[in-house]
Amino acid sequence: ICTKIEELSIFNDALKECIELDALQQEATHVVVGISWGANLMVTAEYSNEENEDTKEISGALQAKLNVIAVQISGKGDVDYGKGGSSKVKEFSLNIYGDVLPEGDLPQTIEGAVELMKKLPVLVQKSNDGKGKPLHYVLLPVDVLKSHFKIHREADTIVKRLNEDAILRVVHLFDDINEAKQQLNDLYTDVTKHDFCVLDSTRKSVEDLKSKADISEANIRSQLSHLLVEIRSGRAAPMELEDLRQKYEEDPNSAPNILKVIHVQFKDASDKINLYKLLTTKHGVTYVSKMESSLDTALLQFYGKDIYILFSQTEAKTADKELWSKQLHLFLSLIEENKQKDQPSDSTPQEPPAFLYVDLDVAPQLSPPGDQAIVVQHFKNGKCISRDLLEDYSEVASLCLVKSSSVVFCDGKPSKRTTLEIRCPASLHGECENDVRKWVCFKCKTDVEFGFDDYFYCNCGKGKADTYSYRCSSDLHGNVFQKFKSDEETLKQLLGLLKPLKELNILILGETGVGKSTWINGIVNYLSYSSLLEAENGKLLSVIPTSFSVTNDDYEEVIIRTGNDTNEDAQAGNSATQYPKSYTFSRGDTLVRLIDTPGIGDVRGITQDKENFKRILDHLSYVPEIHGICILLKPNNARLTIVFQFCIKELLTHLHRDASKNIVFCFTNARSTFYKPGDTLSALKRLLSENKDVEIPISKHTMYCMDNEAFRFLAAVKNGIEFSDNDRINFSASWDKSVEETDRLLEQDKVTLGNNRKVLDSLNDMKSNYTHEVNILKESISSSSSSQEEITPQRVTELVDKLCELKETGAQLKQTIDVVTSSNRKAAQYHEAPLVPQRYSNSHSKNDKKKNKKKSESSEDSSVTGWLKRKFF
């Protein structure tokens, strides 16, 4: 505001008498001939750019705020101070500068600043008798004044003018100085404020540079002011001004050199501070202090949470900028994904994960497991779950992943299910391609299956279909998991188009101890990992808990376990599998079901074999189709046990002729026989040739040789047992052979799908005949007038056993016989054995027996007793 203008009329002749001529003898070049009085009041807005945002954007937003203030001061209308600027500058500081200011505290708000400006005329009236402060001065060159009044002095001062180019170069020089000074002050403020995330040596270097820059600026100002007087007075040549400028720019502490130092030498420090601001202020990341003694102690406060830590080190970042960019992008993606995660309404609230940042330059004692310099790691409960999340994610980059926070454990999967193959939800909004994709569980990395019951299934358990989020492998999708919107029917429509998997049901039979359970575990791993090396780097798959012992280098026995199950008896010498049980897994578009059964020749005797056989038939009644029967054998048994021979004969007796095409033989432990059947082949051929009604071909298409040792090796390695390189080579070859034979086996079983119904029909006939005969027996007993007691299932069993009871008589043997007991497996020879058990019915004479023997050769005994004897004796 201007209150008064005072001017001197220099063209008035009376003025000459008032001029003090001695004053003109000074080296002054101008005389003041006018003064404008009043007062200035200036308001500036300052914003602290903590998030390292775009400077132009922030500057524009602040200018908009100040324009709002200007409109209000002009009195052209009321203004909403909440509008007119970016939301990013809601908080900023006001600075007020003025020639006249009120007593007391200055305003702290925009409204207060506006009111102060409106009161400026009142404040000026109280200063210097209402004149205020000088605002402008009007200057007139001394030589013009002398010329007008014809004042002549012998020693007039010679004043030389500088050309415009020289003046502009000086102006640009000080513009550079101001720019360098501003950036250096910003750097100094940042380093001082964030000294915890920069090295002490860096902070000291910035302080030294600032001090040297201040001295350099003071020197150039002093030299320039002296040189200007010398040039204008003619005592120095104008070119000396350019020499001074060039000499200054060569100074290490000049403005151009300071800017270079800031952008080069202190770039790492600036990047550290900017990264700190980005992570902590914008994303809420916890910065781990350099005062922490170790990583373990730093993680204690986050115990129980999932912890994701970004580690960085300047030298490593500089050496591999691409890797650092990927690691940082992954870390920020995890944070963003967590922000978008929905908490399931029907579950207990989960602790949100913690995100930490460790700068190894300032805290080298916090080095991560594996000693990587730039990496994102995952911790929980003090343990490192993933040493390199980026590497883990890269391994599944080609996979389409799903995950849910509401997955619960489930015992088994529904028989009717299919592989989850649907579109990505992001494709519904044009964010990725419309392709149908196969989805894999993010956690267990196994195929996700839909059970046609609104649930998805994987090795983790099951979860409601509408709780899952999806991330496909498309480059357009990015790293964020997306869900189907709850108000859309798209998910139900897509699931409604799915068809159940084709089933491949295989019944596994074999003697006790042949290794059926281990063989099934091996099959699952052989189908999942194409090589032993891949299996070692992956997770051990064990659908059936097994246990075995190995001997370490010190010849100490070590028990290797792959789980625990009440259906598996791990006690040495006992039959492992107690009940029939199905184990299913997907292979392409086929659901493979391997039906494990108790071993033939149970160590608990023939009674247990009877019970096991009944359990097998009961279990099969719940299986819609049997596509094949796989009989497991050891390859080097020259003699097949009597019990095993009988069971095979019994199976062949009740099988349909066409069903024989679905029987295959698998030889375990076959490495010792060069992956060939060995001595067992001859014994097997003799056994099969005794049955003329059903012919089972013995060829490459019905025989498969593999070895369980590769799976046992993998289990031992996963339990910390060490092996030599030669051992690893041998087991790797065994693994490759087993993979090859497994693929060949399943392909063969697929070919024989056409006969599967007759296989199950034959097995069901065996069970139905047994049930029918027992029902007849129960009806007969219940209708008997002589039996008044209640007929219970236990009583029926007792009567059946009594009906089958046999007496033993003696007969002279012509030669000795070897006997092997089942309790301790020790063989004994009896050279004088006059008597040996001979089985005769209690209700028939010897003559009747001879007749019945002849009769049985032509036709089977159809009585209940005869059927039971054929079945179990």
Name the more confident of 771 and 680.
Answer: 680
Min mean pLDDT across 140-154, 191-205, 249-263, 642-656 is at: 642-656
Q: What is the pLDDT of residues 736-755, one digit of tens each?
A: 999 999 888 888 765 554 44
Q: How far apart are CA 566 and CA 379, in angstroms?
A: 33
184 pLDDT above the threshold of 70: yes
Contact 45, 65 (CB under 8 A): yes
Considering the chain, tell me which residue range(s) the CATH 3.40.30.10 domain(s) occupy: 283-394
Min mean pLDDT across 47-51, 162-166, 267-271, 510-514 is at: 47-51
Name the more confident of 782 and 669.
Answer: 669
pLDDT of residue 662: 81
83 pLDDT above the threshold of 80: no
pLDDT of residue 51: 58
Considering the chain, tell me which residue range(s) the CATH 3.40.50 domain(s) occupy: 502-667+703-764
Nearest to 504 by CA among 407, 593, 635, 617: 593
Give me the helix-helix angle, 864-872 and 642-654, nearest 10°: 130
pLDDT of residue 870: 46
Contact 473, 433 (CB under 8 A): no
Q: What is the pLDDT of residues 109-160, one digit of tens each?
A: 777 777 777 788 888 888 888 888 898 999 888 777 777 777 665 545 556 6
Residues 6 or more apart whose CB falls under 8 angstroms from that of 177 comprise 217, 220, 255
Q: Give the 3-state secondary structure of 367-423.
A: CCCCCCCCEEEEEECCEEEECCHHHHHHHCCCCEEEECCCCECCCCCCCCCEECEEE
pLDDT of residue 324: 94
pLDDT of residue 327: 93
pLDDT of residue 705: 92
Min mean pLDDT across 183-187, 222-226, 233-237, 762-766 is at: 762-766
Sheet bearing 286-287, strands edge to edge: 286-287, 354-359, 306-312, 375-380, 383-386
What average pLDDT does the segment 861-873 reach? 41
pLDDT of residue 762: 54
800 pLDDT above the threshold of 70: no
Report residue 325's pLDDT band, with 50, 70 and 90 as the boundaries. Answer: very high
What average pLDDT does the segment 439-462 reach? 90
72 pLDDT above the threshold of 60: yes
Q: How far is CA 694 from the centre of its chain?
A: 55
pLDDT of residue 82: 46
Report residue 400's pLDDT band, with 50, 70 and 90 as the boundaries. Answer: very high
Q: How far apart are CA 479 and CA 224, in angstroms?
A: 59
Contact 400, 473 (CB under 8 A): yes
Min mean pLDDT across 116-125, 183-192, 792-801 is at: 792-801
Name the more confident of 780 and 184.
Answer: 184
628 pLDDT above the threshold of 70: yes
Distance spanning both ends of the chain, measured CA to CA: 123
pLDDT of residue 322: 92
What average pLDDT does the segment 194-222 reach? 90
Query: Top-level CATH class of 283-394?
Result: alpha beta
Q: What is the pLDDT of residues 299-319, one digit of tens each?
A: 999 988 889 999 999 999 999
pLDDT of residue 568: 47
Name the more confident of 729 and 611.
Answer: 729
pLDDT of residue 111: 75
Mean pLDDT, rounded, of the chain? 77
- Residue 708, token pair as written in the block: 């369980």
196 pLDDT above the threshold of 60: yes
Q: Residue 447 has what DSSP assignment?
A: B
> What are the φ/ψ torsions at residue 308 (nearest 5 degrees)?
-115, 125
Report residue 35's pLDDT band, with 50, 70 and 90 as the boundaries. Answer: very high
Residues 6 or more apart whose CB falls under 8 angstroms from that of 862 comprise none
Q: How far apart are CA 699 and CA 709, in angstroms?
A: 25
Residues 6 or more apart whose CB falls under 8 angstroms from that of 109 comprise 94
- Residue 274, token pair as written in the block: 């900017």
Q: What is the pLDDT of residues 554-587, one digit of tens each?
A: 888 888 888 655 444 444 444 455 678 888 777 7
Q: How far apart are CA 285 and CA 310, in angstroms?
A: 10
Percent of the chain with pLDDT strictly greater than 70: 73
Q: What is the pLDDT of residues 818-842, one digit of tens each?
A: 444 444 443 334 333 333 333 333 4
Q: How far apart are CA 49 and CA 408, in angstroms?
A: 47
Name the more confident of 859 and 599.
Answer: 599
Instruction: Quickly list DSSP for 688-749.
Output: HHT-SSS----STTTEEE--THHHHHHHHHHTT----HHHHHHHHHHHHHHHHHHHHHHHHH
Residues 6 or more apart whose CB falls under 8 angstroms from that of 771 comprise none
868 pLDDT above the threshold of 50: no
Q: How far apart are CA 41 and CA 463, in angstroms?
A: 68
Q: How far is CA 281 from the centre of its chain?
A: 25
796 pLDDT above the threshold of 80: no
pLDDT of residue 566: 46
502-667+703-764 folds as: Rossmann fold (3.40.50)
Q: How far apart are CA 709 and CA 704, in angstroms?
A: 16
Q: How far apart are CA 478 and CA 333, in angstroms?
A: 9
Q: How far apart are CA 84 and CA 63, in angstroms?
A: 9
What average pLDDT does the segment 56-84 reach? 62
759 pLDDT above the threshold of 60: no
Min mean pLDDT across 64-68, 137-141, 321-325, 867-871 is at: 867-871
What average pLDDT does the segment 468-474 reach? 91
pLDDT of residue 855: 41
Name the more confident of 335 and 658.
Answer: 335
Name the more confident of 205 and 164.
Answer: 205
Q: What is the pLDDT of residues 704-717, one digit of tens each?
A: 998 888 899 998 88
